[in-house]
Amino acid sequence: MIQLLTYVVGFALAAQAFIGLGYLVSSIWEKEKRASWFGALQFVGMLMVLLIYIMLASSGYFTTPRGAALLIVISTLAAGAAYFFMRRTPPNERALKGAQGHVVSGVKRYDERKVVFARNHLVPGSSEYERFYNEYPDLRERDEERRKRGHVLGKYGFVDTPHEKANVAIMLAMRYFCANTCKPEHLEPPQAPYLNGHKESVTPIEAAIKVKGIAKHLGACMVGITRIDSRWVYSHRGTIWKRKYDHGDTGWSKWGREIELEYPYAIVVAEEMDRKLVDSAPHTPVFIESIYNYSKGAYITTQLAAAIANMGYRAKAQHIQEYDVLLPPLAQDAGLGEVSRMGYLLTKKYGPRVRLSAVVTDWPMQVDKPKDIGVENFCSICKKCATCCPSKSISEDRHPSEHNGSIRWKINGDTCFEYWGKVGTDCCICMKVCPWAHARTWPHKIIVWLISRNKYAGMLFSYMDDIFYGRKPKPKAPPVWAVFRKTTDNRQRKPVASTTASGQD
């Protein structure tokens, strides 16, 4: 029995050292200097423990009464710790019910005109401007002060001035694509005339397989389907992009219009953001990646909506140019992940490094179920996004609280947007520093598997992330083509965050 136990413990220590080596190699591959140093120390410590154990086992020490007692104590403690951190703790019942599970009282549908981005499009002195602020006078003073300070997204890439021009040019080129997909016939294409009013007859399961396959073929990394909860539909149209449609319509005719969505289903798609560009946040490379994924979402959803219309059903794309619905709660209902402390959807495979878009349709489809991946438990302990947020827009409260009838952490959209105006990008610092945002190398996959099923593992790895990566990670150098400083050769230079970018105004 003791001999068998000796082999089991030895195998466990060897496996632990192998994981430590894997983490070290992963950190070096990710170019994480701090994590590489701590990973090296961790691996050396694990290796020394393994070598000492092998020496003791080879000398026959564990066959002595004292050695056997020590072996039993060590194996018991190790087995207890493994069980404690690997067992599945009770699930979060709220998460298993999706966004509905977080509702505790009447939820008032949100007016899209109140979204800070929509307010930023209002032209002072216009009829829309006066109409809105007469209806919401509490927002007038703050918005007018922000405009006076110049904290609006007008000068793109300001944080990297005077070397931002190339990256801003790339970002704007991608944004133009979004604008070109927002004509009515692109967002809500006509049903196929060649079907003479008939619809393709398939089962809901077949329909779900079909749309998910199409979306992934077009470039989506994740796809989920849900029935639309009317509480997550905007009450009034607010976001207006200043471009001319047919017949000279600039889009303002839609502003303030009540939204009545008749579609029962939503196909929510996620597009992964490249980690190397996200790691440069809040600099211009992350802005390129954000707009690229919004453009990708516009391409996927308009193509998918057209495909569904060609099958005889009604469909409407939901992307950055025009939203009828709030995507994070719908994505949670569709089983793609959970809404996190920072307000982003947090997925098991990609963390918060995703952008969302959707298609709403009347095509009956099999829906997906919400999932509990441990986000609420983890976020209640971590708070790293709140600590690193330069505008202090993310709540540091331990637990979420009620806002508009729903339990969640409330983001201060105004102060967040004002910081965007200061740096001229969409920041993404919170996305970058989130422990779930690391590359999914196999050591990180093990960690994610543990924290998604055990709240104590989440607590442990939250603290370890601070040790290995730092409580406030600095921006990292992007790929050479996205470097935002002048160089004398083709070598990559490290970014230097300005005082504005670090939040030290």
Number of domains in the chain: 2
Provide the pLDDT for residue 123.
87
Q: Is the predicted pLDDT of residue 501 greater than 60, yes or no?
A: no
Other C-beta atoms lying within 10 Å of the C-beta of residue 26:
20
Provide the pLDDT for residue 245.
45
Q: Is the predicted pLDDT of residue 493 greater than 60, yes or no?
A: no
Give the 3-state secondary structure of residue 401. Answer: strand
Q: Are residues 171 and 65 in the same domain?
A: no
Q: Are residues 62 and 128 in the same domain?
A: no
**Domain presence at residue 264:** yes
Provide the pLDDT for residue 499.
35
Q: Are residues 39 and 170 in the same domain?
A: no
pLDDT digits (tens, 9 = 90+) for 104-113: 999 999 999 9
pLDDT digits (tens, 9 = 90+) for 268-292: 999 999 999 999 999 999 999 999 9
Residue 1 burial (CB < 10 Å; 0-12/13-18/19+)? exposed
**Domain presence at residue 320:** yes
Q: Are residues 211 and 352 in the same domain?
A: yes
Residue type for position 160? D
Where among 18, 51, 86 does a domain terminate?
86
Q: Are residues 62 and 113 in the same domain?
A: no
Over range 301-314, report the average pLDDT: 94
Q: Are residues 210 and 100 in the same domain?
A: yes
**Domain presence at residue 99:** yes
Provide the pLDDT for residue 116.
92
* Omega prior to 282 cis, within 30 of 0: yes
Provide the pLDDT for residue 503.
35
Over range 233-238, report the average pLDDT: 94
CA dist 350 and 44 (Å) reads: 30
Lowest mean pLDDT among 306-310, 325-329, 499-503: 499-503
Distances from the Cα of 22 to the Cα of 26, 37, 431, angstroms: 6, 14, 25
What residue numbers bound the domain in which 69 lies? 2-86
Residue type for position 293? N
pLDDT digits (tens, 9 = 90+) for 356-370: 999 999 999 999 999
**Percent of the chain at pLDDT above 70?**
93
Over range 47-60, report the average pLDDT: 95
Residue 328 burial (CB < 10 Å; 0-12/13-18/19+)? buried
**Domain presence at residue 449:** no
Q: Are residues 304 and 423 in the same domain?
A: yes
Instruction: Grade residue 250 by pLDDT with cuts at 50, 70 and 90.
Output: low
Assess contact for 249 and 238: CB atoms under 8 A. Answer: no
Q: Is the predicted pLDDT of residue 305 greater than 90, yes or no?
A: yes
Q: Are residues 296 and 404 in the same domain?
A: yes
Q: Is the predicted pLDDT of residue 494 greater than 50, yes or no?
A: no
Provide the pLDDT for residue 149.
83
**Domain presence at residue 448:** no
φ and ψ of 221, to 5 deg: -95, -25
Q: Are residues 208 and 64 in the same domain?
A: no
Q: Are residues 79 and 148 in the same domain?
A: no
pLDDT digits (tens, 9 = 90+) for 427-444: 999 999 999 999 999 999
Q: Is the predicted pLDDT of residue 502 greater than 50, yes or no?
A: no
**Domain presence at residue 27:** yes
Over range 317-333, report the average pLDDT: 95
Q: Which residue has the higher pLDDT, 67 or 246?
A: 67
Q: Is the predicted pLDDT of residue 242 greater than 80, yes or no?
A: no
pLDDT digits (tens, 9 = 90+) for 196-235: 767 888 999 999 999 999 999 999 999 999 999 999 999 9
**Domain presence at residue 214:** yes
Where among 52, 86, 120 does a domain terminate?
86
Measured at the CA of 323, the angle between CA 228 and CA 261, to 5 degrees, comes to: 45
**Domain presence at residue 499:** no
Q: Are residues 249 and 366 in the same domain?
A: yes
Q: Are residues 183 and 319 in the same domain?
A: yes
Assess contact for 410 and 395: CB atoms under 8 A. Answer: yes
pLDDT digits (tens, 9 = 90+) for 130-174: 999 999 999 999 899 888 887 777 778 889 999 999 999 999 998
Over range 304-332, report the average pLDDT: 95
Quickly list DSSP for 171-209. HHHHHHHHHTT-SHHHHSPPPPGGGTT------HHHHHH
